[in-house]
Chain A
Amino acid sequence: MLKTRVIPCLLLKNRGLIKTIKFKDPKYVGDPINAVRIFNEKEVDELIFLDTTATLENRKPNFQFISEIASECFMPFGYGGGIRDVNDIKEIFNLGVEKIIINSYAVENPDFIRKASELYGSQSIVVSIDVKKNFFGKYEIYTQSGKKPTKLDPVEFAVKMQEFGAGEIFLNSIDRDGTLQGYDIELIKKVSESLSISVIASGGAGKIEDFVDAAKKGGASAVAAGSMFIFHGKYRAVLINYPSPGLIERILRDSFSI
């Protein structure tokens, strides 16, 4: 039986690792290559890297830098940020990346997802959706690193992306980002119930029990976290950490067998 994947999600700005709260106040937290080495030693299930400024700066992915990261990644590795061209996807795969993650451009040009999944297979194409609740409590998708409202409903858009060939949906709650207060289970449940493909829950994880909630109550196939794996203690000291495989497995298994 498959284990629920637990995925550190690391944010890049230029060549530095950052962490945000509700997509704001980026704080520099260290060197990405060093972080990868540590996560490698800790045998993480998978790793996601998002270049948070590529799209905003209207530039291509930094291939040289991706290559440096990939050569240290002996686990599945997903990259997102600034991808708008199928040839760029091919180049990224050749560097040793398994999955590419598309966010803003999937909204701008949904057919790109169809084209990419036909060329490279659904299993390697992840659509990332950033969601914020509006004044009326309605979920809405934002693009451009959370800066641009789209009026799109996350469930409808996720279903469309599945039809277009996306292999996974990376579902991120902007409101919960960096808060360590737990996932938005309602959002995760709404989206995962409507899909047959995997949902990676993201935004808000602060403890292992949050993973269990996202998987068990929310129906997520995988869980991502940023701050939880980067910060330690109430003063948010930078300390890269990851629970031992045995611990995650035991807690998840115990909760599922109830």
Chain B
Amino acid sequence: MIVLINYGMGNLGSIVNMLQKIGADVIVSSGVEDIKKAKKLILPGVGAFDNGMKNLNNSGLLSILNDRVLKEKIPVLGICLGMQLFTRKSEEGTLSGLGWIDGEAIRFRVDPVQKDLKIPHMGWDTVAMCKQSALFDDMYQEPRFYFVHSYHVACNDKNDILTKTSYGYDFVSSLQRENILGVQFHPEKSHKFGMKLLKNFVDRF
């Protein structure tokens, strides 16, 4: 069973719709007992970093999440803000992140010469692989994914970087450190490409 963590941040409906389409066993929950039993976790998220951390801190889930992810090493997938919360901190806020990934979320530094690059980075974009991962196994040709974000993750350990995407410069569009996976884009809104990625997370981790 996969638990999609409901902490009041983000569009859970879309993720549930796609997971159901691929036949995954998923529940939406903010319950400690459910998270204790989960085989995998998904941390979604749309919105501001501090709101996300505040909600997580208030949810009473932090210690069980740390246990399951860091000690028991069950697979966890962060989506968009969810992935940014895995880091230590963000330029968007003052609260500490989960600290599972050595890095931080920073605002897009757009070159004023390229001022036609609008923030947020919104729309379809490609990804360039930096290392192998089952998350992208048997991926369709020329994959593209849907992005909506003003901040992105900067990894301190380059080995954590799974893919990069270029928007003015190269940024981390997905990451993986052992059982901890994060994607900046929205697989649940990325057609067959996102469906394949989520199916890989369901089947191959």
Contact = CB atoms under 8 A, between A and B. Distances in A.
Interface stretch (B31-39, B67-75, B114-122): B114-122
Interface string A10-51: 000000000000000000000000000000100101000000
B18 interface: yes
B122 A96 contact: no
Contacts of B21: 74
A201 B13 CA distance: 28
B194 A74 contact: yes
Contacts of A122: 120
Interface stretch (B57-65, B175-183, B184-192): B184-192
B191 A40 contact: yes
Interface size class of B (residues with CB under 8 A): 20 to 34
B112 to A, nearest CB: 12
Contact of B46 (A74, A124, A221): A124
Interface stretch (A1-9, A131-139, A179-187): A1-9
A102 interface: no
Interface in B17-59: 17-18, 21, 46-48
Contacts of B135: none
Given A43-B191, A70-B17, A74-B18, A93 B11 contact: yes
A94 interface: yes
Contacts of A221: 118, 122-123
Nearest to A43: B191
Contacts of A71: 17
Interface string B118-134: 10111111000000000
A94 B118 contact: no
B195 interface: yes
Contacts of A67: 13
Contacts of B17: 70-71, 73-74, 96
Interface in A189-219: 196-198
Given A75-B189, A76-B146, A123 B194 contact: no
B120 A98 contact: no
Contacts of B12: 94
Contacts of A124: 46
Contacts of B195: 74
B113 to A, nearest CB: 15
Interface string A63-75: 0000100110111
B188 A74 contact: yes
A239 interface: no
A86 interface: no
A121 B148 CA distance: 11
Greatest chain B CB density within 10 A among A1, A77, A245 is at A1
A124 B148 CA distance: 9
A156 to B, nearest CB: 21
Interface of A: 1-5, 40, 43, 45, 67, 70-71, 73-77, 93-98, 120-124, 167-168, 196-198, 221-222, 245
Given A5-B123, A76-B148, 7 more contacts: A3-B144, A5-B124, A43-B192, A67-B13, A74-B195, A93-B13, A123-B148
